[in-house]
């Protein structure tokens, strides 16, 4: 497996730190309220949708065209 580009790693780290700060300020309850772990909840589907978007974003940063859930390229629509 190829190593991550240092610039990409720095960008991801910066985004993660900013998101952590935002969550602490705006939604401190998010650390305790873990409904995304409960099967069948809208929070679970929403969390997975966001996670899929994040993975696609990381792949794009790495210069890889992500695949959609249906097998077609580019999920940015």
DSSP string, 3-20: PPPHHHHHHHHHHHHHHH
Judge whether 39 lies within some domain: yes
Judge whether 49 lies within some domain: yes
Alpha carbons 41 and 46: distance in angstroms, whole number? 9
Judge whether 56 lies within some domain: yes
Judge whether 74 lies within some domain: no
Judge whether 77 lies within some domain: no
The answer to whether the CB of 39 falls within 8 A of the CB of 19 is no
Give the pLDDT band (50/70/90) at residue 68: low
Judge whether 19 lies within some domain: no
Judge whether 25 lies within some domain: no
Judge whether 54 lies within some domain: yes
The answer to whether the CB of 52 falls within 8 A of the CB of 75 is yes
What is the domain extent for residue 40? 34-62
pLDDT digits (tens, 9 = 90+) for 12-34: 999 999 999 999 999 999 889 89
Q: How many domains is the chain partitioned into structurally?
A: 1
């Amino acid at each position: 497996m190829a190593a991550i580009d240092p610039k990409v790693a720095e960008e991801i780290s910066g985004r993660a730190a900013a998101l952590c700060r935002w969550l602490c300020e705006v939604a401190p309850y998010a650390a305790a309220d873990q409904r995304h772990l409960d099967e069948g909840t809208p929070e679970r589907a929403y969390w997975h949708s966001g996670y899929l978007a994040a993975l696609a974003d990381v792949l794009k940063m790495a210069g890889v065209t992500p695949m959609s859930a249906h097998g077609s390229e580019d999920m940015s629509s």
